[in-house]
């Protein structure tokens, strides 16, 4: 999977989490994602978005 595909996948997952109205911890448990990985990718995508501006 390329970096752009991976970032796109993560963006979609973050959007799905927002739409689910679940807390991050609850969403992570439900989707078998560690809280650490969630926030790692969240910060990484935030940095990419700032670089694009």
Instruction: Please report the DSSP string for the chain in residue order.
Output: --HHHHHHHHHHHHHHHHHHT--HHHHHHHTT--HHHHHHHHHHHHHHHHHH-
The pLDDT of 28-35, averaged and rounded, is 95
The pLDDT of 10-35, averaged and rounded, is 94
pLDDT level of residue 22 (50, 70, 90 thresholds): very high
Torsion of CA 5, 10, 16, 17, to 10 degrees: 180
Q: What is the mean pLDDT of the chain?
A: 89
């Amino acid at each position: 999977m390329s970096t752009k595909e991976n970032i796109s996948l993560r963006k979609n997952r973050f959007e799905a989490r927002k739409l689910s109205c679940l807390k991050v911890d609850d969403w992570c448990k439900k989707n078998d994602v560690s809280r650490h990985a969630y926030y790692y990718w969240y910060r990484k995508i935030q940095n990419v978005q700032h670089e694009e501006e």
